[in-house]
Chain A
Amino acid sequence: MKESRHTRQGFWAAALIFALFSLPVMAGAPVPDIPEAVKGDQCVEETGFMRKNHMELLLHQRDETMHRGIRTKKHSLKNCFTCHVVKDAGGQPVTVKSPKHFCRECHDYAAVQIDCFQCHTSVPGGHKTTGEKL
């Protein structure tokens, strides 16, 4: 008798777990749709390296430029935007206010805040914009 009660509990446990797991099967997994670069076929470093380490490059660039006065182009934020731009319906580059912005596509997904754009522009062309908070 005790045996059968165990079997029944086991069955319900298994059924519940199965139900919980099959709930989300409706759709594919949400993954970010990383926008293609608009030109060139090679980033400033290899793509896999950039995906993992772009923040180190940007911070290093900042330290070199701001603390040591050495301003170079290769790893500058401005240079990123010459290729990594997303255009809106009117053909204009979107700013970081849009969730479609190149940086935000992944940063929203990974829940990582970036404060670059409180001062820096988030679109190519170098015009001065400030306060583009996420």
Chain B
Amino acid sequence: MMLSVIYAILFYAATLLLIVGVGRKIAIYARTPAPLKIPTTPAPITKAGVVWRMTKEVTVFQSLFKSNKWTWLFGWVFHVALALVLLRHLRYFQEPVWTVVALIQPFGKYAAFAMLAGLAGLWARRFLVDRVRYITNLSDHLMLALLVAIGISGLGIKFVSHTDIVSLKAFVQGLMYFDLQPLPSDGFLLVHLTLVLILMVVFPISKLLHVPGLFFMPTRNQVDNPREVRHTAGWTAE
């Protein structure tokens, strides 16, 4: 029970840091003015067009596709697989479980392999491509290492040494209802959860901020209407 209490406290703390941290960053991004009209052309000339452009950026990584096919391939495979994996994880947080979440369960587990393959490709690039290696920081390696380790420990639970999934879900539900339930103490699971805690804590202070940050890119989120509407923000408004 000691273990359950420790992990419960850690999860509450990490969740708070994640929500407050990312919320604060979003508030800062939203307040930061973009004084110049700089949509990368050809750019949409209507709001709806911008929404469509952003949708393509988020779902198929359009700009990355145009700039580098290999990075796009590995990056996109990694992100799509990650999305599937996270969707599969929703079953721990819902009762009853949504039908879509139940239906993708069998695919979600293979997505883990795709996710690791994508990460391996992205990581290899940071060693093998000179220009990328030159701009790679330690934190770039650590982020990739963290995600690879989360993936491997997850696969460990799935394929090497099982945990009691029903008890684990009860523990997660217990956190959500403030009704503490015992956490199974299996090696792979504890490693997996510890790494996830680290991910939650570093999220608001790392490159993972590209998730909210993406929506604030002036080159992608501006309407191409400099003649129709005078653009003012920050010092151009003074």
Binding site for B on A (CB under 8 A): 9, 13-14, 17, 21-22, 24-25, 27-32, 34, 48, 51-53, 56, 106, 108-113
Q: Which residues of A contact B178 (CB under 8 A)?
A: 21-22, 24-25
Residues of B88-114 at the interface with A, using a CB-CB cut-off of 8 Å, are: 91, 95-97, 101-102, 105-106
A25-B178, A29-B177 as given contacts; A106 in contact with B166, CB under 8 Å: yes
Q: Are A13 and B23 in contact (CB under 8 A)?
A: yes
Residue of A nearest to B171 (CB): A29
CA–CA, A32 and B170, complex, Å: 8
Q: How far is the CB of B99 from chain A (nearest CB, A)?
A: 9
A-contact 0/1 string along B153-174, CB 8 Å cutoff: 0000000001111110110011
Q: How far is the CB of B229 from chain A (nearest CB, A)?
A: 28
CA–CA, A108 and B95, complex, Å: 9
Q: Which residues of A contact B186 (CB under 8 A)?
A: 52
With beta carbons under 8 angstroms apart, the residue of A25, A34, A56, A113 that contacts B105 is: A113
Taking A27-B177, A31-B170 as given, write out 7 further A-B residue pairs in contact, using a Cβ cutoff of 8 Å, ordered by the A residue number: A21-B178, A32-B166, A106-B166, A109-B166, A111-B105, A112-B105, A112-B165
A9-B27, A17-B20, A110-B91 as given contacts; A30 in contact with B105, CB under 8 Å: no
Residue of B nearest to A55 (CB): B162
Q: Are B179 and A29 in contact (CB under 8 A)?
A: yes
Q: How far is the CB of A25 from chain B (nearest CB, A)?
A: 5
Residue of B nearest to A31 (CB): B170
Q: How far is the CB of A87 from chain B (nearest CB, A)?
A: 22
Q: Which residues of A contact B96 (CB under 8 A)?
A: 108
CA–CA, A112 and B92, complex, Å: 12
Q: How far is the CB of A16 from chain B (nearest CB, A)?
A: 9
Q: Are A13 and B95 in contact (CB under 8 A)?
A: no
Question: Considering the complex of A and B, which 8 residue pairs feature the smallest CB-CB distances, nearest first?
Answer: A29-B177, A29-B173, A111-B97, A52-B162, A29-B179, A111-B91, A111-B102, A30-B95
Q: Which residues of A contact B176 (CB under 8 A)?
A: 24, 29
A-contact 0/1 string along B102-145, CB 8 Å cutoff: 10011000000000000000000000000000000000000000
